[in-house]
Structure formats: C-alpha cells, structure tokens
C-alpha cells in the first residue's frame, strides 16, 4: 500500500500499487508517494475487508475496515464512492502491527498510519486527534 498527499486539498490517500499509476496520481495533484505496508488482495482466515470512501464537502478520502462501527452510517454523513481496497488482519498476532486512523480537525483530514511510522506525540503535535484502530498488518 502506498500513500499520496495532495497539498492543496491537504488530503492523504492510501492506495494499492495496482489501483492507480504514479503518473495518474501526480496528474491529479498528489505528491509524496511513500510506501506504507503490505496488504492482501484476497480474503482469508483472520482477514477483514478494507474500504475507502470520499467526503466531497471536505474533499477527503478515508480508509476504514469493515469492522468500523460507523461504516453503515457513512453514506448518511455524506461519504460517497465506497470502494474495496484490500484485506488486512482483524486482530493482533506475532509479527503484526496495528494501523490507526487519525483525524485532523483543522484540515478535516483522516490519516491512515501504521503504529511504527510516527509516535502519538508527533501526531498530536501536528494537530491530529481521535486515534482509532482499523486493522493489523505484517511488520515490515
């Protein structure tokens, strides 16, 4: 999985390598492509489906697992274009790390990040709050 940043919309987007080409994302104004983690393309034991949805009022993409308690309400909150992205582990296990969503109220942006990428202190220092566990992936 790769993450791209759109500086004008202040939006982070997580996509599988096969979803969009680097050139296409750059043509949309995204930059800062960086590797995040490996994920599964198919369902399996202990795996949950992970989706992305778009909030047009905030111009923000959010990535959530099927276990997110609000996923069935997201359309009523204005989210659109629900799309399956990948599969990840539902729970912890040997060699796995947690992946969290963080909300930035100033930018109105969700950031999906493995627990090993930044510290909580860094993220809160940058204005992120409302840390929410989404799923687990293999440690890199």
pLDDT at 19 (0 to 100): 61
pLDDT averaged over every residue in the chain: 86
Residue 23 has pLDDT above 80, yes or no: no
Give the residue with greater pLDDT, 112 vs 11.
112
Q: Residue 18 — very low, low, confident or very high, per pLDDT cuts 50/70/90?
A: low
Mean pLDDT confidence for 50-60: 84
Q: Give 59-92 pLDDT, tens digit per residue.
A: 778 888 888 777 777 888 888 888 888 999 999 9
Mean pLDDT confidence for 8-36: 76
The model's pTM:
0.83
For residue 23, report the phi and psi dihedrals to the nearest 5 degrees.
Answer: -60, -40
Structure tokens at 39: 């994920």
List the chain domain ranges: 2-138
CA–CA gap between residue 7 and residue 59 (Å, rounded): 12
Mean pLDDT confidence for 14-20: 70
Cα angle 58, 54, 65 (rounded to 5 degrees) comes to 120
pLDDT at 33 (0 to 100): 77
Cα angle 133, 137, 140 (rounded to 5 degrees) comes to 125
């Amino acid at each position: 999985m790769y993450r791209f940043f759109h500086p004008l919309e202040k939006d982070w987007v997580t996509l599988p390598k096969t979803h969009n080409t680097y050139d296409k994302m750059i043509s949309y104004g995204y930059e800062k492509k960086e590797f995040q983690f490996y994920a599964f393309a198919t369902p399996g034991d202990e795996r949950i489906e992970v989706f992305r949805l778009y909030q047009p009022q905030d111009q923000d993409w959010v990535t959530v697992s099927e276990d997110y308690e609000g996923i069935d309400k997201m359309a009523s909150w204005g989210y659109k274009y629900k799309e399956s992205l990948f599969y990840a582990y539902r729970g912890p296990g040997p060699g796995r790390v947690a992946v969290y969503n963080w909300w930035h109220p100033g930018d109105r942006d969700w950031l999906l990040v493995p627990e090993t990428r930044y510290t909580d202190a860094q993220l809160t220092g940058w204005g992120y709050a409302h840390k929410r566990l989404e799923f687990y992936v293999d440690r890199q």
